[in-house]
A and B are shown apart, each in its own frame.
Chain A
């Protein structure tokens, strides 16, 4: 039953123009890495790889792809009314949420993580230390994709303006406030991802704003909290009549 839910959600997500746009967005780090490669070997490839992976993948591509898929996986069905066909089935609502975040998170991982790995490897080439850095970002991005997807799926059940709220969160909260006020970093998924990457490769030049313990605890809290909120809100979700 979960399989069919995930499969139909994936078809819905991939059936639209946005999947092409997301593919282009996910491919952007690879294109930039190719450009770097074509222009010649950089002086410090490991540092450059960290800058591309942090600045482009973790700060931009990952949250945007997760935002689009996360809010569409369930939110678009709630908005257009097709979610009724899921809600009137003998399925516990947490299973619906789980299927939706698996689809959205899985799709984000499939698009973003290979792109991050490929971009990283293209920049660092055959440098041993650089490989570890790229692997660290690969693992951290995978965790980040699941985390963002869960959060945005939950957001789509809570509000009909999930895309806007999600954009404000990633651009304003994570993009601006987390840089200005250290306290806000505790509620920034981006900071958790960077902290996890830094913990996996402590030798690399990754500037983390949080320590691993805080990032790990917050990762679990946000994951469990967002999932619980989404499940509860969907259990009490009311389908207003069109009258």
Chain B
């Protein structure tokens, strides 16, 4: 994975990290190095995502290897929390406090010079100003998630860790949160969030870490990962001025090993992503066919993930 600026320590670094509980291995020899931007931690339930996040947050001691945040050890280093914000997965919050009191409580524990203003700013960021005076115990699941994010943002940390942050949010809140996290990443912060919802990761994350059975199955830009899978065909859906004629021309190309004409669309299977995308326009031109659309059909994160998990 990409690290931070040249010479600067990585924002989050795990070196040969393992974590086991008795005989059960939760995380197995993972090494990652993350710099600013949004990274999605993807995997099915029980894959080890939360364990990785908890170790990065200093809430779990790695059984082997080292975990550091901005060059400092994550475990048993309370001072490090000045630069880290965590949104835990568990819903429980101090139900007897109002939303504002809860965020302000967090601000005071961070010993901020003006905790009230910091709390109001963070509440505003998560669009919770209207409900800030209600008791947290009366909040919906989505509202709790947002107030938890406000509590994690209140000290404006350069590193933000979020465990399943979109749980319980409605589509509008989800979009708003994605924009907020995207803006934070654009401002140079490091955002690492876990999710088992592929669409969330695909929409928000610039890079992904795919974890399966405690191992790092893949990391990087998920489209690039997909292209590296040469042993699995890439499928493209094509619209053109003459699909039948184009199909005949394409099937003669060595990068293509299958074409299918069905329901007025042309589907092409290729074993070589780069050669096909470079050559398709040339082949169409040679056949005298105009291309209207060439769209990869299996590049969703879901297909990448399903493939990696099967492997």
Contact = CB atoms under 8 A, between A and B. Distances in A.
Interface of A: 1, 4-5, 8, 11-12, 15, 80-82, 84-93, 235-236, 238-243
B84 interface: yes
19 contacts: A4-B105, A8-B97, A11-B97, A80-B92, A82-B92, A85-B94, A85-B151, A88-B58, A88-B81, A90-B79, A90-B81, A91-B109, A238-B59, A238-B60, A240-B21, A242-B50, A242-B90, A243-B45, A243-B51
A124 B110 CA distance: 51
Given A12-B96, A88-B86, A89-B78, A241 B109 contact: no
Contacts, number: 89
Given A84-B59, A86-B109, A88-B84, A235 B94 contact: no
Nearest to A83: B92
B254 interface: no
A243 B46 contact: yes
A83 B92 CA distance: 10
A240 B94 CA distance: 19
A4 B115 CA distance: 12
A241 B50 CA distance: 6
A81 B88 contact: yes
B232 interface: no
Nearest to B115: A4
Nearest to B21: A240
Contacts of B76: 235-236
A243 B110 contact: no
Interface of B: 21, 26, 45-51, 53-54, 57-61, 76, 78-82, 84-86, 88-90, 92-94, 96-97, 105-106, 108-111, 151, 163
Contacts of A88: 57-59, 81, 84-86
Contact of A1 (B49, B59, B94, B109): B109
A80 B58 CA distance: 19
Nearest to A1: B111
Given A82-B92, A84-B90, A88-B58, 13 more contacts: A11-B96, A15-B96, A84-B88, A85-B93, A88-B59, A88-B81, A238-B60, A239-B60, A241-B51, A241-B89, A242-B50, A243-B48, A243-B49
Q: Which of A4, A11, A12 is packed against the most chain B CB atoms within 10 Å?
A: A4
B106 A85 contact: yes
Contacts of A91: 78, 109
A22 to B, nearest CB: 17
A194 to B, nearest CB: 37
A60 to B, nearest CB: 29
Nearest to B96: A15
Contact of A90 (B45, B46, B51, B78): B78
Contacts of A90: 78-82, 110-111
A209 to B, nearest CB: 41
A8 B45 CA distance: 34
B74 to A, nearest CB: 11
B61 to A, nearest CB: 6
A92 B82 CA distance: 13
Q: Which of B49, B51, B109, B151 is packed against the most chain A CB atoms within 10 Å?
A: B109
Closest A-B pairs by Cβ, 10 of them: A241-B50, A81-B90, A239-B59, A89-B109, A81-B92, A15-B96, A4-B108, A80-B92, A243-B50, A90-B81
Contacts of B97: 8, 11
Contacts of B26: 241, 243
A236 B61 contact: yes
Q: Which of B48, B81, B82 is packed against the most chain A CB atoms within 10 Å?
A: B81
